[in-house]
Amino acid sequence: MHIHFYKYQGTGNDFIILDNRENMHNTIDAALIKKLCDRHFGIGADGLMILNTSTEFDFDMKYFNSDGNESTMCGNGGRCMAIFAKDLGIIENHTTFHAIDGKHEASIRQQGEVELKMSDINSILIKETYFQLNSGSPHYVHFTENVAEMDIKKEGALIRNSPVYKEDGINVNFVERLADKSLFVRTYERGVEDETLSCGTGVVACAISSVQDQIGSHEITVKTLGGSLLVKCTNIDGQHFNQISLSGQAGSVFNGVFRIV
């Protein structure tokens, strides 16, 4: 059996993408996805996405974590899917597509820049030492210092596997406010069970948390190990946020054929 695959990345968050317009990948299972995403014995990726046809939208996006399980929305994945759809000739520079959390729009700019409109956020849990919110995926956001020196895999796993979050899992973000008013974020992702170079929904969650006490419209630059992203949002009342978008670099890495033995 052979699988024709495509590899894309958005600020270092990398994905295997399968074109399923001819229903060639309907039977793919968790074990195979996990094998494909393995960085030693497979292609290697943080996750796998399938592009399906849609009667209402340009396409439908289905996302799986590298552990093989279907997951919630992936911001960087959505930006990569927009570029992929353009490369396939499905769209030009704008798309409306469907994902697990509903409708999304994306615009492709020059030099591989993609802006993705995110779903509204209608609540944010504010605790003494952290924030918790769903930006398409559930996120734990902790503001601290010296984030560059942290052992993210160790510290993130402790929170993700704590009794409160162990069953459903949560993505864990450590955030530092920088002198230039930007944010530096490192994220431990559930399903990957490790740090990734960038997490789109995590970046959005951190940006929203950073302005939760500032009513109005905002533009927040967020730096990750894989590059910088720009988040735009409007804070209505500290609990409701709309006009949210995520912008940054995304593009193709390579494509090929994987032989399953």
pLDDT (tens digit per residue) in 44-75 = 999 999 999 999 999 999 999 999 999 999 99
Q: Is the separation of the CB atoms in 223 and 190 below 8 Å?
A: no
Task: Domain ranges for the chain, please list them.
Answer: 2-114+251-259, 124-249
pLDDT of res. 261: 81
Q: Tens of pLDDT along 199-222? A: 999 999 999 999 999 999 999 999
3-state secondary structure of 260: coil
pTM equals 0.97
Mean pLDDT of the chain: 97
Reply yes or no on whether the pLDDT at 3 is more than 80.
Answer: yes
Distance CA 72, CA 92 (A): 26
List, by residue number, the catalytic residues: 74, 199
Reply yes or no on whether the pLDDT at 111 is more than 80.
Answer: no
Q: Which residues contact 55 (CB under 8 A, 6 or more apart)?
A: none
pLDDT of res. 1: 82
Which residue, among 214, 250, 191, 237, has the nearest Cα to 63 in the 3D structure?
Answer: 191
pLDDT of res. 221: 98
Residue 146 banded pLDDT, cuts 50, 70, 90: very high
Q: Which letter does DSSP use for residue 70 in this model?
A: B
Q: Give domain 124-249's CATH architecture.
A: Roll (3.10)
Distance CA 118, CA 199 (A): 14
The beta-strand segments (E) located in 82-202 are 94-99, 102-108, 113-117, 124-126, 131-134, 138-143, 171-177, 183-189, 194-196
Rounded mean pLDDT, 84-100 = 97
Q: Is the separation of the CB atoms in 217 and 197 below 8 Å?
A: no
Q: Which residues contact 174 (CB under 8 A, 6 or more apart)?
A: 142, 144, 147, 150, 152, 155, 156, 185, 186, 187
Reply yes or no on whether the pLDDT at 105 is more than 90.
Answer: yes
Q: Is the separation of the CB atoms in 98 and 62 below 8 Å?
A: no
Reply yes or no on whether the pLDDT at 170 is more than 90.
Answer: yes
Reply yes or no on whether the pLDDT at 112 is more than 90.
Answer: no
2-114+251-259 CATH fold: Diaminopimelate Epimerase; Chain A, domain 1 (3.10.310)
Distance CA 76, CA 118 (A): 11
The amino acid occupying position 198 is S
Rounded mean pLDDT, 86-96 = 97
CA angle, residues 3, 7, 185, in degrees to nearest 5: 140
pLDDT of res. 128: 96
Residue 175 banded pLDDT, cuts 50, 70, 90: very high
